[in-house]
Structure 1
Amino acid sequence: MIEAELARAVSLRESGALDEARDLLLELSAAAPDDARVAYQTAWVHDALGLEREAVPFYVQALDGDGLTAVERRGATLGLGSTYRTLGQYAEAVNVLSAGALEYPADRALAVFLAMARYNLGDAKQAIAGLLDLLVDTSSDPEIQRYQRAIRLYAEDLDRIWS
């Protein structure tokens, strides 16, 4: 029962019927309050509707529970961190996104959102360093690759003056 209704709610969300998906997910959340997958999808639909504050407890519940796949857990981590950032809760965002970056080191989206949260927290140096590393790691631009060693050195210490 829960699985079929959860699949229907996800389908509704994916098709843009966000209010209908939200109504169904809130019903499912009440019926299965310990289901991490339901909590994750409920958080997601709240975020999609611009209801970030309402999304937070569902993200927390999803991450505290069991039953998420690695992909869902990564998505919930990114969702919670991004939502905290949107709400101006920058320290919480950095904490969640840093933990996510450690858990999923190959996830470039987590690195980008972490850089934004670090910037918002006033740590522009760490934010830029993270983005420079990300640029070198992901760019196929020949000029970026040509200067990758120098870019990585600058990422380590942007304030260093070379003599």
Structure 2
Amino acid sequence: MSAQNKDVLVAEAVRLREQGHPEQARERLLALTAEFPDALDVAYQTAWVHDVLGLEAEAVPYYERALQSDGLDDEDRRGALLGLGSTYRVLGRFGQAVETLRRGVAEFPDDGALRTFLSMALFNTGEHHEAMQILLRLVATTSDSPHVRRYRPAIEHYAADLHRTM
């Protein structure tokens, strides 16, 4: 099978997943994985469909394979880092979740979803102070609420040092 045909079949599997047919998508992606074991996009999509189906443990090796080199485009790499970090967290592998999500935030510092998931993983490792700082900064910089915007300087000030009261 050609790479062009592979891309068409991957796109069909993604459509199936998005249209609420993840088991059919999984079957197609597993077949593609067998035929293209080194294709990072196939590994990523296979991981994603396993996550959708609640098969987190089965998703991990596909995410890891997808991230083994820099072959994914930025959007897929961002999704794979978030997916793997989140999956590690769901599986109780909190240290690996933090490590993966920190890598994601380092590569994509403007991604609020990565920072949010990192804060959750930090909470799970007992790093409550850093988790809260990340969330406060995220709220201060991304909220559309006029009330939050009014207090943005104060929120950012206290995010720098949560122990400060004045």
Question: Does TM, scored on the shorter chain, surpass 0.5?
Answer: yes
Deviates more, 1:77-86 or 1:5-14: 5-14
Indicate the residue corresponding to 1:134 in structure 2. Answer: 138
**Offset at residue 10 of structure 1 (A):** 1.1
Q: Establish whether residue 9 from structure 1 lines up as the match of residue 13 from structure 2.
A: yes
Q: Look up the match of 2:148.
A: 144
After the TM superposition, list the runs of 4 or more consecutive aligned residues in structure 1 that deviate by more than 4 angstroms: none
**Which secondary structure does the structure 1 equivalent of 2:67 belong to?**
helix
Once the two structures are superposed, residues 96-122 of structure 1 have per-residue CA deviations (whole angstroms, 9 ceiling, x without a partner) of: 111101111111100110110000111
Displacement of 1:32: 0.4
Matched, 1:157 2:149: no
Q: 1:14-63: CA deviations, max 9, x gaps?
A: 11111111111111101100000000000000000000000000000001
Supply the RMSD in Å over aligned alpha carbons: 1.1
**Corresponding residue SS for 1:64:** coil
Aligned position for 1:63? 67
Match of 2:43 among 14, 39, 51: 39
C-alpha separation between the residues in 2 aligned to 1:153 and 1:63? 36
Q: Which residue pairs with 2:95 in the alignment? A: 91
Contact 1:81 1:93 in 2 (8 A): yes
**1-structure distance, mates of 2:70, 2:138:** 31
Q: State the distance in 2 between where 1:51 and 1:124 align.
A: 29
Aligned position for 2:129? 125
Match of 1:108 in 2: 112
| Number of equivalences | 162
User: Which runs of 5 or more structure 2 residues have no equivalent in the other structure?
Assistant: none
> Of 17, 27, 31, which aligns to 2:31?
27
**Structure 2: which amino acid aligns with 1:134?**
L
**Percent identity over paired residues:** 52
Q: TM-score, structure 2 length as denominator?
A: 0.93
Structure 1 portions without partners, runs of 5+: none
User: In 2, distance between residues paired with 1:126 and 1:13?
Assistant: 35
